Structure 1
């Protein structure tokens, strides 16, 4: 019987190789540490080995860092490493002090967050006092609120809403994480007798314009907050 030295080629498997989970975790960890901004699932998916289970990787990293000095947290739908909340006092001296907002600005910000989309007139109605152009300008400069559109009403007033930067600054994953009535009571923000009919609205920062809103035009980006005729400034 004759024999041959021919090598038999084995067909390559069509089954895709599953990337090493541990190595993918290391890559994700490096990306998150190096990034100056929180990263989304899509950001990581595009830079991790093809087929990597990004959801599982993030869950494992969050568990791995849960008891450490830094934690992997979800902020505004994205992921970032942050100092553990119980150790924030250690870094207090190293934090750059931001300009403190006035009481009027904080009240206005809270109203925008809970009642968005909201107009300046609606803010004034809720606060019970006039709101100055400077207060809204300050909040726009911080990047915590934005111009959404124009109300379909006489005068077509500008409507305001919060931004992803607002969520990031206050450590919120979503606007729905803002405290409700019971949480506000428990935290001591609402003392004394609370009216029985008082309610805290469920906030929504959906980017889609409401039925009573029109889109902004180009001029709104340059002259969004002209003073009303005869206005002299307010709180």
Structure 2
């Protein structure tokens, strides 16, 4: 069944479920409330809301309504306090995004320095990182992965949309001699030239 022929009642029901939801919902979760072709209804709603003040978007396989990005300034009444991640936080978040699931020890091996517990706490409080279970090796270390909120915040549909190393360099976001970022590619091998001596550990 195509989006053009999906039942109007199904479309309205999916719209109501998503509107009432407090969190983004996957197709299976929506199906627990709505009968019919949910995927076709989502496609229809996405088209219906395109270009409007509220849009239906999909991030990491989950759907939710959000304000159109170009209208954010209309709703922003108070001056926002900008909180910047420390260098340690940025590097840790990037390593997790490119290598997840990853343990703290693996993060430290890539960065070349110890990672303070507070750094991971800040990323989890922001809703960008979550515990992802324990690795079945001696000691069963806890692993970490990114969240759907991470994808939403950075405007990504999935981790496949993460830029490659060359893309980061071309955009001026990567220092060619910066070891920490130079190792983010899954294919890159760890190198150690002592370039992290100035970053024993930033405050989270």
Same fold? TM cut 0.5: yes
Q: Is the 8 A contact 2:6 2:40 kept in 1?
A: no
2:12 is matched with which residue: 19, 26, 32? Answer: 26
C-alpha separation in 1, matches of 2:52 and 2:74? 14
> Structure 1 regions of 5+ residues with no counterpart?
1-18, 203-232
Q: Is the 8 A contact 1:151 1:158 kept in 2?
A: no
Q: CA RMSD in A?
A: 3.3
Larger Rg, first or second structure (1 or 2): 1
The answer to whether the aligner puts 1:145 opposite 2:126 as a matched pair is no
The answer to whether the aligner puts 1:174 opposite 2:158 as a matched pair is yes
C-alpha separation in 1, matches of 2:152 and 2:79? 16
Q: How many residues align?
A: 183
Mean Cα deviation higher: 37-46 or 108-117:
37-46
Quote the offset at 1:99 in angstroms.
Answer: 5.2
Quote the offset at 1:95 in angstroms.
Answer: 8.5
Q: Which residue of 1 aligns with 2:185?
A: 200
C-alpha separation in 2, matches of 1:103 and 1:110? 11
Q: Which residue of 1 aligns with 2:102?
A: 118
Q: Which residue of 2 aligns with 1:208?
A: none
Superposition map of 1:82-161 within 5 A: 82-93=66-77, 100-147=84-131, 148-150=133-135, 152=137, 157-161=141-145
Matched position secondary structure for 1:139? helix
The answer to whether the aligner puts 1:67 opposite 2:51 as a matched pair is yes
Q: Which residue of 2 aligns with 1:46?
A: 32
Quote the offset at 1:63 in angstroms.
Answer: 1.0
Matched position secondary structure for 2:25? coil
TM-score (norm 2): 0.71
1:108-144 deviations in Å (ceiling 9; x for gaps)? 1111111123232322232233321221232233343
C-alpha separation in 1, matches of 2:177 and 2:102? 28
Q: Is the 8 A contact 1:119 1:159 kept in 2?
A: yes
TM-score (norm 1): 0.63
Q: Which residue of 1 aligns with 2:39?
A: 55
The answer to whether the aligner puts 1:37 opposite 2:23 as a matched pair is yes
Q: Is the 8 A contact 1:62 1:73 kept in 2?
A: yes
